[in-house]
Amino acid sequence: MGLPCQFRLPIKSMFTPQFILTALILVAALSAIVWMIILEKRPRTDLNPRLVPTTAILLISGFIALLALIHLVNLVGLNTGRFR
């Protein structure tokens, strides 16, 4: 026979679906940043323009990674916004 309801310890896991999804978005954004840096630094063999705008994708991925990192910090419990 188990413990009555009022004596059960609340188990609050940090790894909620929101945390896992945000962590996956952070990993995807960081991998896009690394891939775009590799494409930017690779020597060119001809003068044809690239079909992928690496600088724009690099900046957008960096912004998404920054937002995901801030969101993860907020999910852990630290307040990064205004203090009210």
Give the SS3 label for residue 4.
Answer: coil
CA pair distance 39, 50, nearest whole angstrom: 10
Domain annotation covers residue 31: yes
**Could you give the number of structural domains in the chain?**
1
Tens place of pLDDT per residue across the chain (84 aa): 555 555 554 556 778 889 999 999 999 999 999 999 999 998 888 888 888 899 999 999 999 999 999 999 988 887 777 766
Give this prediction's pTM: 0.77
In a domain, 21, yes or no: no
Please give the distance of CA 84 from its chain centroid, rounded to a whole number: 26
Task: Report yes or no on 20 lying in a domain.
Answer: no
Euclidean distance between CA atoms 64 and 28, whole angstroms: 10
By the 8 A CB rule, do 52 and 34 touch?
A: no
Whole domain around residue 73: which residue ranges? Answer: 26-38+53-79
